[in-house]
Structure 1
């Protein structure tokens, strides 16, 4: 494998939908592992007021958040498939691939799946005692904040996906990519002429 093939291989990996998504998911997994494995005893006293009183209530809240996230992901994927089907029938397949390569959509996907995995870590590792400690209670509240973040990302995602298949957005993106390609070509010509 020569150097240009290696660069092309690395570029293909970086351009794939899984690259950025898996980096974000990895961060959530690391956070989940840290939260369940660390035993932090020295937290400020005012945080004791937010301590959950019942481990079963915490598990129920986590299970509900997990179910909500799975429903959100299913709805988002259904909407994406609908948009992609419509775009595929009206426009070229290249448009469909460019829609999935957008970094914004990969961020949303990474946060969705990362939130699910984080909550799954909290559910799989049992809490000690009858009520979760303050550290674990904070982890449960963090999962609720992650779900709220995912809801905001969902609104952004719906708007972005629906805008990206409109003809004005498509022509603007084609113009932008064509201009970028022309700039690269001119730069190569200048380097070749030197």
Structure 2
């Protein structure tokens, strides 16, 4: 179950920007509390150059909010340019590598979080009759400087990502990480004590099994938690067979699992589906073959008459050698 949630968070586009947005919301609440509720106790410990009057703070935040929103829009446009290049020059399957990359999502999250902070600070800032100084504007300026630095970094990241050699390197790294995880899992399985099946269990395999379809899920198998299925089979005293491997396409009428109960009838067979994740697209989390397919498509498109780039194909072949070494 932990692997399933990790896969969802790893493949989701909203999690990292949402986390930064939530942090910006908390930061705006803290800044407004410093300027209102705890102003008398905290402001006297802050240097005078970190405090501004309310009118100047409103002017600064009013200028920062549209600027950060413009930077977010430009960043989104740059992402679309990269995705168009990946689709036309490399392979449509490589889009996911750039969209779900942590650096890309982190830049978007910082811009969105900065905009949320400035607009909330501007919304709840009030001017009293008494002369009042606030800290929110200086914090907003610091956030905008941070966003500007990340914007320059993102431009460099986009320029680097458009190089086909960098894309091939990232794909090879993903494949090698998948190979290491699978190899480590096989090592852990070899350390588990193996109990030979009893004669009664072998007789059970001659009976007709219970077929378990993937309910309403239609798509590709992204994750199979074999350890969880093994524990469920021991608890239910049954034999469970997964009919399809990682990366296979399944539909509602597909017999995803076959279950042979030994002693008692299993009432809820759909709970075994919690250990299998079916999604709309393939991932390289456990699917090494999908990563190799991406490299193959890049190499084939490179030697096509329209592109005619044999050096890219040679680089892909060298990556095959590193993976199969």
Q: Note whether the superposition's TM-score is higher than 0.5.
A: yes
Is 2:179 the counterpart of 1:187?
no
Give the C-alpha shift of residue 78 in structure 1: 1.0
Q: Secondary structure at the match of 1:97?
A: helix
What are the Cα deviations for residues 46-86 of structure 1, in whole angstroms up to 9, with x where unaligned?
62354324x33321211111111111111111111111111
Cα distance in 2 for residues equivalent to 1:171 and 1:109 = 24
Q: Which moved more, 1:26-35 or 1:122-131?
A: 122-131
In structure 2, the partner of 1:112 is: 111
More helix, by proportion = 1
Cα distance in 2 for residues equivalent to 1:169 and 1:131 = 59
What are the Cα deviations for residues 86-134 of structure 1, in whole angstroms up to 9, with x where unaligned?
1111122232111011111111111101110000111111323257733
TM-score, structure 2 as length reference: 0.53
In structure 2, the partner of 1:52 is: 52
Matched residues, number? 187
In structure 2, the partner of 1:35 is: 31
Q: Verify the 8 A CA contact 1:108 1:153 in the aligned structure 2.
A: yes
Cα distance in 2 for residues equivalent to 1:50 and 1:12 = 42
More strand, by proportion = 2
Q: Which moved more, 1:7-16 or 1:176-185?
A: 7-16
Cα distance in 1 for residues equivalent to 2:132 and 2:62 = 19
Cα distance in 2 for residues equivalent to 1:46 and 1:24 = 26
Q: Secondary structure at the match of 1:77?
A: helix
Q: Verify the 8 A CA contact 2:28 2:117 in the aligned structure 1.
A: yes
In structure 2, the partner of 1:103 is: 102
Cα distance in 2 for residues equivalent to 1:46 and 1:37 = 15
In structure 2, the partner of 1:66 is: 65
TM-score, structure 1 as length reference: 0.86
Structure 1 unmatched ranges of 5 or more: none
In structure 1, the partner of 2:80 is: 81
- Label 1:130 to 1:96 Cα distance change in 2 as closer, same or farther (>3 A): farther
Q: Verify the 8 A CA contact 1:32 1:118 in the aligned structure 2.
A: yes
1:171 to 168, 172, 180: 168
Structure 2 unmatched ranges of 5 or more: 192-325
